[in-house]
Amino acid sequence: MPVVAVTRLQLKGIFKLLPFLFHLVPSYFQALKAPGNIKVEVIKKKGVHVWIMSAWEDRAAMEAFVQEQPHRDAMADIGRVCRDAAMAHWEMETLDGFTWEVAEKYLEADGRRPRIIL
């Protein structure tokens, strides 16, 4: 069953955009090429908020991606560039509901903050 993951990041300020992009761009291309990835999207919302949503064939594929470089380094550096972060993941029967509106609802209901941000 497909797994969808969403991450919402609030940068500490516009001056953190370049260090953030230093991690985002390689991680984005890593996700596109990762075994089991179905789709990945990134959007910028109001202010310095960035949302990342990805779909995976299963939970094992998503977890394998998270532990690989360069994504692992990006997670380790999140506290340096982000003021706040939240993430959630869930299983879906089909990807018909792979929308930002659905992602926002899941994040509000089930989102958790990484320990480094707390």
How high is the pLDDT of residue 107?
86
Amino acid identity for residue 90 in this structure: W
Identify the CA nearest to 106 among candidates 2, 8, 1: 8
User: Which residues of the chain are under the pLDDT cut of 70?
Assistant: 114-118
The CATH T-level fold of domain 3-110 is: Alpha-Beta Plaits (3.30.70)
65-to-15, 20, 36, 83, 108 alpha-carbon distances in Å: 28, 19, 9, 24, 24
Q: What is the domain partition of the chain in residue ranges?
A: 3-110
Rounded Cα distance, 51 and 43, in Å: 5
How high is the pLDDT of residue 112?
80
